[in-house]
Structure 1
Amino acid sequence: MRLPPEKKSKIDALWDRFWSGGLSNPLQSIEQMSYLIFMKRLEDMDVLEQRRANAMGKEYTSVFEGHEDCRWSAWKHKTAEDMLKHVRDVVFPFIKNIHDGEKTLFSQHMKDAMFIIPKPSLVQEAVGIIDELDISGQTSDVQGDIYEYLLNQLATAGKNGQFRTPRHIIRMIVELVDPDVNDRICDPACGTAGFLFTAYRYILKKYTSPDMVTKDEEGDWHGLIGDHITEQNAWDKLHQDTFYGFDFESTMVRIALMNMVLHGIKAPHIEYTDTLSNQYSGEEEFTVILANPPFKGSIDKNDINDKLTLGTTKTELLFVEKMIRLLEIGGKCGVIVPDGVLFGSSTAHKNLRKILLETCQLEGIVSMPSGVFKPYAGVSTAVLVFTRGGSTEKVWFYDMEADGYSLDDKRTPTDMKGDIPDIIERFRKRREENPGDRKGKCFYVPAEEIKANNYDLSISRYKEIEYEEVEYEKPEVIIRKIEEIEGRILENVGELKGMLGKGM
């Protein structure tokens, strides 16, 4: 869902109210708005889960059982004063302990959360706008739309390489990696958990009857009920032992937790941890990793995890090495990296590429245009898809030229598809197609050739560009034409002088 202009203008007005109301920190504002969105979508998702249970002939206990006054519909029409008091003193404590006091990660990270919107009128206006957004249980990540839009106000956006990944790019990467119901899926720099809940939705799509699945104009899936997952233990694993995320920003952790819970995952594993530091020493724990780690920035040398061997403080390199270590043998990763990772000349850059080729199966590299992350960043990026273990025989490259949106700061929708459907199809058929024409969109390059080129993984190193031959006229013909032009100029100058002479 892309926010239409009228909704954007209302959110702009709401932002102004937050600012004048004393909430001038953009991230703080996003967090407070997220709490309200969570309250709204909690009821929407409860209704959806009830319908799913009915469709599958199962019993369902509402999350609001014993707390009916916490339903959005029960208090959204209260007066401003009563609404603020009810939300602050009744509804917010309820969502902080959403699972009846169970000691889940959600309750642990929410225990220090505070509802700090100070003015009744601001709460009432925010509730009105969120209600008008018409968020339903089948609408994907509307909170993400608001968060993405509010990022325009975030003065520090991109300072540490942190900005939200476009959802159509996330979906593309998830489809390339193809996670399944038995996987343990991790994002070591999860932000708002976009990769994790998209992976969840993708798995549901795989196990939902095809005639029930629909796709909107942006490529997002709807009608996902997972009716082909028939064993309760499979559902339990999916909800309790499949999705793991880490972030070093406590506000992001809470937003990620809310996102996961809203998508039906009762006990998501989202933790406040810097996975590059000695705080976290896990290895070989996951079968799938999906991530867009910070593109730039560095970490204090003394804080770097002792098991990371690249000898650099550049986070974009350390994260890829960490992901390799987090994967089980045979585990698969889809990660976005800045182009510099592919061709950087430092020892750390080359050693990372050597690790990818010699200890992993580097299956594909999708080179993306520089406008994909605008307006937050104009850096050129690529998607790496690799499997831990073995070694690489050849690498599949794809030169993405369009992603379905304009590549300027406006990111105006064009066809909202671009090359993405072709990328997914060609990647899946790459072995049978075995493309070798380097003038085309995609092609294979042998690993030995890459090694001979100093482990350079940039597509420009290997793609052949076909230049059109331009035929120029012979020099004597060009000279004659110049003389003719000069003659006409002199003739016109003479006429002009004559006219001036008569006037005098």
Structure 2
Amino acid sequence: MTIANLQSKINRITDILRRDDGISGAMHYTEQISWVLFLKYLFDYEENKAQDALVDGKQYKYIIDTKYRWDEWAYPLKEDGEYDLKNAMGGDDLIKFVNNDLFPYLQGFNTNIEEVKTIKYKIGAVFEFITNRIASGHTLREVIEIIADLNFQSKDDLFELSVIYESLLQGMGNDGGNSGEFYSPRPVIKAMVEVVKPTVKDTIYDGAVGSSGFLIQAYDYLMQDGKREQYSTTQLKHIKEDMFFGNEKTPLAYVMGMMNMILHGIESPNLYKQNTLTQNIRDFEEKDRYSVILANPPFGGKEKKTVQQNFPIESSATELLFLQHFMKMLKKGGKAAIIVPEGVLFQSNNAFTAVKQDLLENFNLHTILSLPAGIFLPYSGVKTNVIFFDRKGGTTDIWYYECTPPYKLTKNKPVQYEHLEKFVAGFEKRETTEYSWSVPIEEIRKANYDISAKNPANIKKIIHQEPRGILAELKSNDKKINSLLNEIGNLIQTGYEG
């Protein structure tokens, strides 16, 4: 099935769900499409495993018991393989089974801590924070019958599913309100990953994981251009089980992030439902840290005093607390790329200045990408930047790059990857152009650690005159003004006399 056909089916499901009394807005219908899609994916996943085991002369042990498998409750088949509509649950019976039997059963999968690395445990983690909102059994039956036509039994099928799921998440982001937390612009994420260049040896972390966009882009980067075939079995196991880590505070975002990673082929992502900022960063040791950090943490929020006490430099601003967290979580020699609001760069109160001083003196803040206004519309119009730093020595100079799309960004005219291609291509050369420049650390210290992007090509030259010269110019202007006023007065007088 093509992506266009798959998108058409998802659009049909969306239209059906909008009519249901239990659904309200893009967040709800994306959540509900997600769990049904996820269960169909799990069924195909297990059928594939069973077939592979059969080829090897073994018997596969199913994760999901017979009663709860897709082909039993959702889409039963006759002996000839045709859909057995007569024996398929519907109406109130279907809703009761899903709410009272299926969900409680799946929610019980994450009780055994010894299975934390297994896909079974991750299934339980997903359903712990999700509920069925579909009120009508007839609506749910319609949705099931459309999704039943989809197959996720090959890499191509899985790729198509992941593309469509990303578009659903983007729709939530475009919905505005609080749903922007689920989706960061993929062109920006792609540029950040391509500059950081993660390797198969890395551990990659996002402390505000949302829908897992950064981790998935890093995974795609590691798998592109036939790289998968070059990895050993041990390396592939590391990628799927021990490479990707993240925290997410919001239950729905956590669920979406977990499902998104599994649907992209990362069977055991290490995602945790927790508020990252409740961790005391003084307790972190080298063994707790990560070699690559990629993130777009929340900004504009305020944290209470008990949370602020987890940081050496206390502040209510979430963006400043997250920045301290990421600095502490980066391994020696590690690399980080973090999106921050403009205020972090120019604010000069004690807390902001102290954090920036620590960053510049103890880390190599080598690059700042100045993003155009409107990157996060309609969720936020705040001007943002990407800061790139390594835990390797101190900062000697910062290379700035100003991203300037040829049009004003809006909800319907978002940033494109082509707007960032020159930045990616020029990152290692660090040349001075009309949109890129360097500033030495000495100048930054003199400016009280103001590291905001000020393109010298756009700064107009100001001519400073002596006071006498200014006074003479004012007197000259006064004479000209008086002369013009006299002329106007004469014309008016002439008109009256005429």
Q: What TM-score does the superposition give when structure 1 sets the normalisation length? A: 0.74
Q: Which residue pairs with 1:371 in the alignment? A: 374
Structure 1 pair 11/412, CA: closer, same or farther in 2 (3 Å)?
farther
Q: Which residue pairs with 2:323 in the alignment? A: 320
In 2, the alpha carbon distance for the partners of 1:250 and 1:97 equals: 17
Q: Which amino acid aligns with 1:464?
A: A
Deviation digits for residues 313-353 of structure 1 (CA, Å, limit 9, x no counterpart): 10001101100101111111111011111101211111122
In 1, the alpha carbon distance for the partners of 2:5 and 2:445 equals: 46
Check conservation: 2:191, 2:417, Cα contact below 8 A: no
- Structure 1 window deviating more from structure 2 (9-18 vs 184-193): it is 9-18
Residue 176 of structure 1 pairs with residue 195 of structure 2 = yes
Q: CA deviation at 1:250?
A: 2.3
Aligned partner of residue 423 in structure 1, secondary structure? helix
Structure 1 pair 74/464, CA: closer, same or farther in 2 (3 Å)?
farther
Structure 1 pair 304/108, CA: closer, same or farther in 2 (3 Å)?
farther
In 1, the alpha carbon distance for the partners of 2:435 and 2:165 equals: 35
Structure 1 pair 228/2, CA: closer, same or farther in 2 (3 Å)?
same
Check conservation: 1:189, 1:247, Cα contact below 8 A: yes
**Equivalent runs, 1:238-317 vs 2, <5 Å:** 238-278=239-279, 281-284=283-286, 285-306=289-310, 308-317=311-320
Q: CA deviation at 1:117?
A: 2.5
In 2, the alpha carbon distance for the partners of 1:49 and 1:228 equals: 23
Aligned partner of residue 323 in structure 1, secondary structure? helix
Matching residue within 457, 474, 477 for 1:464:
457
In 2, the alpha carbon distance for the partners of 1:289 and 1:34 equals: 27
Check conservation: 1:283, 1:327, Cα contact below 8 A: no
Structure 1 pair 370/41, CA: closer, same or farther in 2 (3 Å)?
farther
Residue 420 of structure 1 pairs with residue 420 of structure 2 = yes
Q: CA deviation at 1:251?
A: 2.5
Aligned partner of residue 363 in structure 1, secondary structure? strand
Q: Which amino acid aligns with 1:454?
A: N
Q: Which amino acid aligns with 1:164?
A: Y
Matched residues, number: 444
Q: Which residue pairs with 1:203 in the alignment? A: 222
Q: Which residue pairs with 2:332 in the alignment? A: 329
Q: CA deviation at 1:126?
A: 3.3
In 1, the alpha carbon distance for the partners of 2:252 and 2:36 equals: 15
- Structure 1 window deviating more from structure 2 (61-70 vs 260-269): it is 61-70
Matching residue within 428, 432, 437 for 1:443:
437
RMSD: 4.4
**Equivalent runs, 1:329-348 vs 2, <5 Å:** 329-348=332-351
Unaligned ranges ≥5, structure 2: 78-82, 462-476
Check conservation: 2:176, 2:378, Cα contact below 8 A: no
Deviation digits for residues 221-270 of structure 1 (CA, Å, limit 9, x no counterpart): xxxxx1111x2211221111111110112222222221222222222111
Q: Which residue pairs with 1:218 in the alignment? A: none
Residue 185 of structure 1 pairs with residue 204 of structure 2 = yes
Q: Which residue pairs with 2:470 in the alignment? A: none
Q: Which residue pairs with 2:140 in the alignment? A: 123
Q: Which amino acid aligns with 1:465?
A: N
Q: Which amino acid aligns with 1:260?
A: M
Q: Which amino acid aligns with 1:109?
A: A
Q: Which amino acid aligns with 1:204?
A: M
Structure 1 pair 277/70, CA: closer, same or farther in 2 (3 Å)?
same
Check conservation: 1:375, 1:410, Cα contact below 8 A: no
Check conservation: 2:169, 2:211, Cα contact below 8 A: no
Q: CA deviation at 1:286?
A: 0.7
In 2, the alpha carbon distance for the partners of 1:375 and 1:4 equals: 27
- Structure 1 window deviating more from structure 2 (267-276 vs 69-78): it is 69-78
Q: What TM-score does the superposition give when structure 2 sets the normalisation length? A: 0.75
Q: Which amino acid aligns with 2:238?
A: K
Check conservation: 1:64, 1:70, Cα contact below 8 A: no
Q: Which residue pairs with 2:31 in the alignment? A: 31
Matching residue within 222, 229, 237 for 1:227:
229
In 2, the alpha carbon distance for the partners of 1:95 and 1:452 equals: 59
Deviation digits for residues 121-155 of structure 1 (CA, Å, limit 9, x no counterpart): 22134346657899831133432321331345564
Deviation digits for residues 38-71 of structure 1 (CA, Å, limit 9, x no counterpart): 12444566789999x99xx9x9969789759526
Check conservation: 1:45, 1:263, Cα contact below 8 A: no
Q: Which amino acid aligns with 1:149?
A: G
Structure 1 pair 129/169, CA: closer, same or farther in 2 (3 Å)?
farther
Q: Which residue pairs with 1:103 in the alignment? A: 115
Q: Which amino acid aligns with 1:395?
A: I
Identity of aligned residues (%): 29
Matching residue within 144, 147, 170 for 2:169:
147
Check conservation: 1:186, 1:286, Cα contact below 8 A: yes
Q: Which amino acid aligns with 1:243?
A: F
Matching residue within 159, 168, 173 for 1:138:
159
Structure 1 pair 154/63, CA: closer, same or farther in 2 (3 Å)?
farther
Check conservation: 1:179, 1:203, Cα contact below 8 A: yes
Aligned partner of residue 37 in structure 1, secondary structure? helix
Q: Which amino acid aligns with 2:298?
A: P
Q: Which amino acid aligns with 1:235?
A: L
In 1, the alpha carbon distance for the partners of 2:291 and 2:195 equals: 15
Q: CA deviation at 1:166?
A: 1.4
